[in-house]
Amino acid sequence: MFGSNFCKRLAQVAAFLLFVAAATSGHAAPQTAPSASSSAWQRPAASATLQPSAAPTRADILRGAYGPYRVNNDLLSYHLDVRVDPEKQTISGKNSIRFKMLADGRRIQLDLHPALEVDKILLGATSLPYVRDSGAVFVDFPETLDAGQEYTIDFYYSGHPLQTARFGGFTFGKDPAGRPWIYTACEDIGASVWWPNKDQWRDEVENMQISVAIPNGLVDVSNGKFVGKTDLGDGYTRWDWLVQYPINNYDVSLNIGNYVHFSDQLGDLPLDFYVLPEDLEKAKKQFAQARGMIEAYQHYFGEYPFPKDGYKLVEVPYSGMEHQSAVTYGNHFSNGYLGRDWTGVGVSPKFDFIIIHESGHEWFGNSVSAADRSDMWIHEGWTTYLEVLYVEYRFGHEDAIKYVNGYRAKVQNREPIIAERGIAATPPQDMYFKGALFLNTLRSVVNDDVRWFALIHDFYQHFKYQNIMTEDVVQYFNQQTGMNLTPLFEQYLRHTAIPTLELKFSEADGTVDYRWQADEPDFAMPIRAGKKTDWQIIQPTTYWQTMKTPLQKNEFDVATDLYFVNVSRQ
Ligand SMILES: [Zn+2]
User: CB-side exposure of 437: number of CA atoms within 13 Å?
Assistant: 29
pLDDT at 3: 57
pLDDT at 36: 30
Q: Which residues contact 547 (CB under 8 A, 6 or more apart)?
A: 511, 512, 514, 538
- Distance (angstroms) between ligand 1 centre and the Cα of 356 equals 10
Q: How far is the CA of 310 from the centre of ligand 1 (A)?
A: 20
pLDDT per position as a tens digit, 462-474: 999 999 999 999 9
Q: Which amino acid is at 431?
A: M
Q: How far is the CA of 31 from the centre of ligand 1 (A)?
A: 33
Q: What Å distances lie between residue 226 and 172, 222, 256, 288, 325, CA to CA?
A: 23, 8, 14, 21, 11
- Average pLDDT, whole number, for the chain? 91
Instruction: Return the closest-CA partner of residue 132 out of 123, 124, 141, 140.
Output: 140
Q: Which of 215, 235, 239 is nearest to 89 (CA)?
A: 215
pLDDT tens, position by position, 383-395 = 999 999 999 999 9
Q: How far apart are CA 35 and CA 163, in angstroms?
A: 8
Percent of the chain with pLDDT over 70: 91
The rounded percent of the chain whose pLDDT value lies above 90 is 89
The mean pLDDT of 96-104, rounded to a whole number, is 98
Question: How far, in Å, is the centroid of ligand 1 from the Cα of 357?
Answer: 6
> Is residue 33 pLDDT above 50, yes or no?
no
Average pLDDT over residues 154-179: 94
Q: How confident is the model at residue 49 (pLDDT cuts 50, 70, 90)?
A: very low
Distance 364 CA to ligand 1 centre (A): 9
In angstroms, what is the span from residue 381 Cα to ligand 1's centroid? 8
Cα(429) to centroid of ligand 1, in Å?
10
How many residues are given for the chain? 570
- Cα 361 to middle of ligand 1, angstroms: 7
* pLDDT of 543 strictly over 70: yes
- Of the listed ranges 55-59, 89-93, 264-268, 510-514, the least confidently predicted one is 55-59
Task: Convert the pLDDT of each residue in 318-375 to its tens digit.
Answer: 999 999 999 999 999 999 999 999 999 999 999 999 999 999 999 999 999 999 999 9
Task: Please indicate whether residue 530 or residue 9 has the higher confidence score (pLDDT).
Answer: 530
Q: Are 193 and 170 in contact (CB under 8 A)?
A: yes
Nearest Cα to 244, choosing from 181, 309, 298, 189? Answer: 309
pLDDT of residue 168: 87
Q: Quick one: pLDDT at residue 166?
A: 73
Compute the distance between CA of residue 518 and CA of residue 373 in angstroms, rounded to an integer. 26
Residues 6 or more apart in contact with residue 241 via CB below 8 angstroms: 209, 210, 211, 212, 220, 222, 223, 224, 225, 226, 227
The whole-number pLDDT of residue 257 equals 98
Whole-number pLDDT of residue 165: 76
Residue 10 CA to ligand 1 center (angstroms) comes to 18
**CA 57 to centroid of ligand 1, rounded, Å:** 26
Residue 8 vs residue 207, higher pLDDT: 207
The predicted pLDDT at position 556 comes to: 97
Res 306: pLDDT: 98
The string over 369-386, giving b where at least 16 C-beta atoms fall within 10 Å of a residue's C-beta and e elsewhere, is bbbbbbbbbbbbbbbbbb
Contact 529, 557 (CB under 8 A): yes
CA 383 – ligand 1 centroid, Å: 6
pLDDT at 28: 29
Measured in angstroms, how far is the CA atom of residue 2 from the centroid of ligand 1? 5
379 alpha carbon to ligand 1 midpoint, in Å?
A: 7
* pLDDT, tens digit (0-9, with 9 covering 90-100), for 52-86: 557 899 999 999 999 999 999 999 999 999 999 99
Q: How many CB atoms lie within 10 A of CB 123?
A: 16
* Band (2; pLDDT cuts 50, 70, 90): low
Give the separation between CA 521 and CA 74, rounded to whole angstroms: 40
pLDDT of residue 54: 74
CA distance 401 to 423: 36
Q: Give the amino acid at 67.
A: G
Examine the pLDDT at 7 and tell me if it is beyond 50: no
pLDDT at 293 over 50: yes
Cβ–Cβ < 8 Å for 473, 459: yes
Residue 457 has pLDDT above 50, yes or no: yes
Q: Is the pLDDT of residue 16 over 70?
A: no
pLDDT tops 50 at residue 29: no
Lowest mean pLDDT among 14-23, 466-475, 490-499: 14-23
Q: How far is the CA of 464 from the centre of ligand 1 (A)?
A: 17
Closest among 236, 229, 234, 233 to 213, alpha carbons compared: 236
CA proximity to 211, closest of 120, 111, 83: 83
Pairing assessment for the beta strands 566-569 and 500-506 based on DSSP bridges: parallel
| The pLDDT of residue 53 | 57
